[in-house]
Each structure stands twice: as C-alpha cells, then as structure tokens.
Structure 1
Amino acid sequence: MKHLTLLLLIIATLRLPAQQIIRLDGSRISTQALQHRVTALMDSAQVTGLEIAVFQHNKPVYVHAFGYADKEKQRMLDTSTIFWACSLSKAVFGYCVLKLVDQGVISLDTPLQHYLKKPLPDYVFTKKTRGYQDIRNDQRYEKITARMCLDHTTGLPNYRGFEPNGKLFIRTDPGTRYGYSGEGMYLLQFVLEQVTGKGYEELAQEYVFRPLGMTHSSYIWQDAFEANHAEGHDSAQKVYEFDRRTLPHSAGSMYTNIDDYAKFMTAMMQRKGLSGKGFKEMLTPQVAILSKRQFGPDALVDDKTAQQTNLFYGLGVGLLRTPYGTAFFKEGHSEGWSHYSIGYPDEGLAVVILTNSDYGTGIYKPLLGAAIGDIYTAWDWEGYKAYNEK
C-alpha cells in the first residue's frame, strides 16, 4: 500500500503543469520552454555562458545557469559563479548614493566642490585618485553635483583613457545634456570618500551588500572568488585575460553572481532599502536622451526631440516609457562580458541576463521577448543586433 501511494504521488506530480511566466502582453511561457529557448539561442549565436533571472510579482521565479564558466577547461557555470559585472556596478552605486542622501550625508544638488577642502583641480593623480588637474582652467567643474554624476549630465567623457590625448575635459555645460560618463561616477565616488573618510568598498558593503544579503559581491577582487568565477570569452570562445581589481571603481569594478544580483533587483522591484523619496528620485526621468546611439560618434548626434523620445535617465539607471509603464534598465559590457537588466515595476516583471561572451548581446532581443515579452528595449540606441541580423 505504501508503494502504491508513493507511485500515485509521483504520477500526480508529473501531471502538474509546468511553471508559467505571464508576459507583458498576457501570453505565457513555461519555464521548461524558456529553458529550451535559451539553449537554442546560445547554440545558434555561439554564446559561451549565460545566467538569467526572471521576475514575476516583483520576485525571482526562475534563476538558471547555462554553458561554460571556462570553455577551454570545460568548467560549467552555476548560479553561484562570480561574474565581472562591468557597468551594472553603476546601478548599485546609484542605490548606495541615495542611501547616503537619505541619511543626510550628501545632497543631490549641492555642488560637489562644496564638500572638498581644496579646489578639485588641486587633487592630482595618485594610485587611489584619478586626478583633476586637467580641468583647472575650466571652472564649470564648480557646477557639478551628485545628481549630474548619477544622470550622466556632468559633461565629462566616459573615460579619459578613451580620448586621443588621454586627458580629462568637460565637453558640455554640466546639467544640460546626457552623455554617458564613468568619469562622472568616479568623481562622485571620490567626493563621497572624502566626506565619509571611508573607501567605496567599505561604503558598498555597509549600505548595500550586507543589508541586502549580497554575500558574494564586492567592488574589489576577493580570494574567495577564485574557486568559482567565470572567464570572459571572445568571438572564437577563447578566454580573455581576467582582471582582478584591487581598487574599487563605482562605475565598473563590481564582482557578483546571478543569485546576488537578483537580490539587488528584488530590492529595486519591491522598493526596499531606500525611502520613498529616494526611489522616486532614482526612477524619475532627470534628463531626456536625444542621441542616436549611446556610444561612439553617434552619441553626439541627436535624432529625437524631448517631445518624441521615450528614453530618459534616472539616477544610476536608464528609464524607458512603454505601454506598460516606465521600465528601468542597466547594461554592462567589456571584452568578453555582456550583461543587461530591465524591470517593469508596474507589472512586477523583470529580467537580469549575465553572459561571459562577446556574442551575448546577439540574443538579447529574442531572449527578452521570450522571457517577459519585452519588445521595448531601445535596441538601436544600445547598438544591439540579433545574432542573425547583418
């Protein structure tokens, strides 16, 4: 009798419907079907490894790892594998800054120069300081605020090292135009470190990682990550040299895994950890994005007007107006790494995608459509093309 009862229980379990994800348009996909879709896309586009977290009702309902952490060594990914998060770092930094704003440590609209003991250009390059002597003769630096750093309107370039002469400069009047800038993020980090007397890694652990239970996240490399971390792969699926950062960089040095980043995304979707005012600031359009592309020469070419655009920047995250409310998004890229996250708070739906492949962006479009019915991501502006598009 006991064996018969057990057999009936197994049969009943097998007959249960597969877990369903209800997409933006009301259509459904089972997690089993999604798993098959991910595998097929990775095979077709030659994506080495991918991890995904899908959210419904503002919480993760499907978290899975596919493919290789290191293809050359045939080492597989799992959801605890550490990734270099690249510019996903900026979203966490924005959240951290707004916690400090909530506590009155810094104001969003007070010029950052106000918090320093000497003029910003007097801080010269050291091992821990990028240096600001290059902008000594451009007093517009005195206008830059924390808000401008987080919404990318400082006028500073993305990274001075990308510029022909390798020097820092102010391209546009602070506060007037969107222009993606890691330098702006680093400037705000530098000022916060002067104000608090703490390094940014300490601040991130205190205000974000520990409160959210992100026990495998850091802005500097930890020895504990060595045993299970992903390697970035090129278009031939060969491993790039791995970058183990020893200094925290708010714009791009975070290491994390899909389990941990899902905790951060959960806090964003459920509005946890910040005041209502803090979340409102973070997710309210601060500046309209008019540029044709996010990066490259077309980043300086406008093809939209403020009345036409559905793209904006909040504080630390991009914003996208859609028929399903305003979504927030953040991407992260470098050689061998391609990440994307988007959340639809009004619908309780979100996706986080981490890949350790140069080809990762090639499957975003079909994957986001399959997972939650997202057809609104700004593919052209982001420069994303499907793997089967020319």
Structure 2
Amino acid sequence: MRRRLVAVLAFIPLLACARDLPAPAAIDAEVARLLKETGAKGLAIAVIDEGRPVHVAAHGVRNTAGDPLQVDTIMYGASLTKAVFAYTVMQQVEQGRMGLDTPLADSLPKPLPAYVSPQIVDRYADWSALDERWRKLTPRILLTHSSGFANFGFLEPDEKLHFHFDPGSRYAYSGDGLNTLQFVMETGLGIDVGAQTTRIFEGLGMHRTSLIWRPDFAGNLADGWDAKGNVEPHDERSKVRAAGSMDTTIADLAKFVAAYVRGDGLSRKGRAELVRPQLPITTRSQFPSLQDELPAAQRRKDLAAGLGVVVFDGPQGHGFFKGGHNDTTANTLVCVEAGQRCVVILSNDVRVERRFPDLVRFVLGDTGVPYDWEYGTP
C-alpha cells in the first residue's frame, strides 16, 4: 500500500503539465478579447508543445494605415535579444573559443577602462571610470546581471559605468553588462557577434531575423504604440547590440524558442547551464535595477538568474522566462521544461503588456512565472 501511495505522489507533479492546451481558435479568441479590452493595436503569439510550434498567429494591425500584422511582419525583439546572445555565447564556449569563468582581463590586450575612443563609446559604453574591480568580471557574471553596473551607462550622472557593488555578489539588471561582453568577444577574442547570430538564424530557417537593420525588412514592418496610444515608427537599429537590437518575426522567433527548449545546437550540459539557477535574485522587483536587496527572510527561493534568462520553479516544475520592453514594444517568452512547452508573445503596443500573465495562464495554465517581480505588482 505504501509503495502504491509513493507511486501516486510521484505522479502528481506531472498532472499540472498533462492538461491539454487550448485549441488554436480559443487562443485566437482570447487574444482578440484582450486587444479589444486594452485598446492595443497588435499582438503576435506562438505556442510550443513538446518542443515544436503548434500555433503561430498574428492579430491586429502593424501601422496607422491599418495594414494587418502578419506572422512574417518584422517586429522589435527588444531584450529577448539577451536570450539569443546567451545561447550564442554558450555555443562559443562549447567550441572552446571562450570560457564562462575566464576573466575579461585575460581576453583583452589592454585594460577595459583604456578603451574610450568616441567610436567605441558610441557603440558600447564608457568604462573609463571603472576601478580595478573590472578585473573580476567574467562572461558568467555579465550574463547573470551581476556586474555591479547600472542598466546603462547613460543613466549615470556622468554617463559612465560605475560599480555599485562587487561583481558577482548580487543581481541587478544591466544591458550594458551584456554589451560589455559583446565588446570583449569582438575586440579581444575575434568573435563577430552579428555574424555568429546570423549563422544561428540561417541554420534555423529564420530568414527574417537580424541583430542589425536590413533594408529588405521595410516592406512588412510593425510600428509601435505607447501607453498613451501615440504611434512611433519602427527604429532602424544600425549597430549590433547584445542587449537588445534584434528585429524578428513571430514565425522566426517560434523556431528559435523551439530549438532552445529542445536544446538544439548545444550539448545537454551546455543547454542545462543556460537555465540552471546561477545566482539568487534578492530584490522585490526587477526595476529599478539598483534597488536595495530584501531581508533574507523575504527573498523568493523559487527565483534565480540563469544565463540571459530568469529561471523559476512553479506548479509545473522548472521553467524560464525573458521579457522585452521599450516605450512601444512589449514582448515575453515563457517556457516550462516539462513537456517543452512555451508561449512567445510579441506586441507592438505596450497597453496589452499587463495582460500577458492572463494570456500565458490561459494557454499554459499556472506556471508560477513571478510576474509580481517582473512588473513590480501582482
């Protein structure tokens, strides 16, 4: 009897992910309802089950002319770029071209603070004010957002990066941390990040995705709407930036996320490293990035930094997610490892972003994504 009970209890965690996913028509109807309720103009969604896209759709419009948003419409990837970058880094690690724990100082011909030419600062960041703690920086520290930097150097009073805590000691979101790693890869290691991501995209059949603007994108392009309903043209990003320069489509991004959750292009160990809890997250919310840490008793034990993503444990087991946002863009990807299930959302209207938790829950059920930390409110 006891043996039978143990078997039943062992099966219970699997029940949460055993539920059938909603039918495509039901998902489409839910998206249409949320767009109507929020007044948002457009949203594209992909659903992945057992590591394969099972539903890819676009709703609403892509510009003020009323042209429909389509599955091959170019949309801004924003910070979803960071997950792509971390995957790219892991491939380079597995090829022996770099190490996750190799200090940046071992990869550069001169100290990081010495790189201060206008061309470098314009493309990356200004490191000239950094103290000797820069020598502690490693790719792992930068990919787990534990560099000690502000989100971006231009947010500092002198527009230069500074250390706000010892590298590796805690989490604080920093886009310029990832841009710094990109610089070291390109300058010190001879790894062209743009070329490497393009190789990945082409290998996955993602022919309308790039970390730099391409003229052929102009024919089917999404503009964006801000929180007040004002429209802004799509920004043609002229520089590859690991923190967030990707243009993509929902059809393309579904291919990448499916490959990612399956572990394609990486060893089992490398794929596991991306979504392993690397560093506890100790703040009440994601932003502002340099907020105080919570007292130890109030910190979440189900939330940690992976490499380029945030990992969590919920009712369906281990999962990971990544958001992407600017004034006219709202994106998210959520995956649960059990069943290799994911929801990917790209929206060209930020007014629908606060309903992402509802939409993810509608598709996947209760995953345990820490939206109160992600958005700062329950």
TM-score by length of 1: 0.88
d(CA) in 2 for partners of 1:306 and 1:378? Answer: 14
Q: Does 1:209 align with 2:163?
A: no
Which residue of structure 1 aligns with residue 5 of structure 2? none
Contact 1:42 1:363 in 2 (8 A): no
Which residue of structure 1 aligns with residue 145 of structure 2? 152
Q: Secondary structure at 1:41's aligned position in 2?
A: helix
Cα deviation for residue 363 of structure 1 reads 1.4
Contact 1:291 1:298 in 2 (8 A): no
Which one of the candidate residues 315, 331, 340 is aligned to 1:348?
340
Which residue of structure 2 aligns with residue 65 of structure 1? 58
Cα deviation for residue 62 of structure 1 reads 0.7
Which residue of structure 1 aligns with residue 178 of structure 2? 185
Which one of the candidate residues 306, 317, 322 is aligned to 1:325?
317
Which residue of structure 1 aligns with residue 329 of structure 2? 337
1:378/1:298 CA distance change after superposition, 3 Å: farther
Cα deviation for residue 327 of structure 1 reads 0.3
Cα deviation for residue 188 of structure 1 reads 0.5
d(CA) in 1 for partners of 2:127 and 2:361? Answer: 47
d(CA) in 1 for partners of 2:296 and 2:203? Answer: 40
Q: Secondary structure at 1:66's aligned position in 2?
A: strand
Which one of the candidate residues 120, 129, 147 is aligned to 1:135?
129
Q: Which segments of 5 or more consecutive residues in structure 1 lack a partner in the other structure? A: 1-21
1:284/1:119 CA distance change after superposition, 3 Å: same
Q: Secondary structure at 2:291's aligned position in 1?
A: helix
User: Which residue identity is paired with 1:317?
Assistant: V
Q: Secondary structure at 2:213's aligned position in 1?
A: coil
d(CA) in 1 for partners of 2:290 and 2:216? Answer: 41
Contact 1:58 1:345 in 2 (8 A): no
- Give the stretch that moved more between structures: 122-131 or 50-59: 122-131
Q: Which segments of 5 or more consecutive residues in structure 2 lack a partner in the other structure? A: 1-14
1:181/1:305 CA distance change after superposition, 3 Å: farther
d(CA) in 1 for partners of 2:135 and 2:227? Answer: 44
Which one of the candidate residues 352, 373, 378 is aligned to 2:365?
373
Contact 2:104 2:184 in 1 (8 A): yes
d(CA) in 2 for partners of 1:198 and 1:325? Answer: 36
Which residue of structure 1 aligns with residue 188 of structure 2? 195
d(CA) in 1 for partners of 2:295 and 2:322? Answer: 22
User: Which residue identity is paired with 2:272?
Assistant: K
Which one of the candidate residues 58, 83, 88 is aligned to 2:80?
88
TM-score by length of 2: 0.91
Which residue of structure 1 aligns with residue 155 of structure 2? 162
User: Which residue identity is paired with 1:237?
Assistant: G
Contact 2:109 2:188 in 1 (8 A): no
Contact 1:283 1:319 in 2 (8 A): yes
User: In the TM superposition, what are the counterparts of 1:1-390 in structure 2 within 5 Å?
Assistant: 24=17, 26=19, 28-70=21-63, 72-129=64-121, 130-136=124-130, 138-206=131-199, 208-296=200-288, 299-302=291-294, 305=297, 308-383=300-375
- The structure that has the greater radius of gyration is 1
d(CA) in 2 for partners of 1:141 and 1:175? Answer: 11
Q: Secondary structure at 1:339's aligned position in 2?
A: strand
Cα deviation for residue 35 of structure 1 reads 1.2
Contact 2:142 2:177 in 1 (8 A): yes
1:20-44 deviation digits (Å, cap 9, x = unpaired): xx97362552221221111011100
Among all aligned residue pairs of Structure 1 and Structure 2, give the percentage whose two residues are the same amino acid: 35
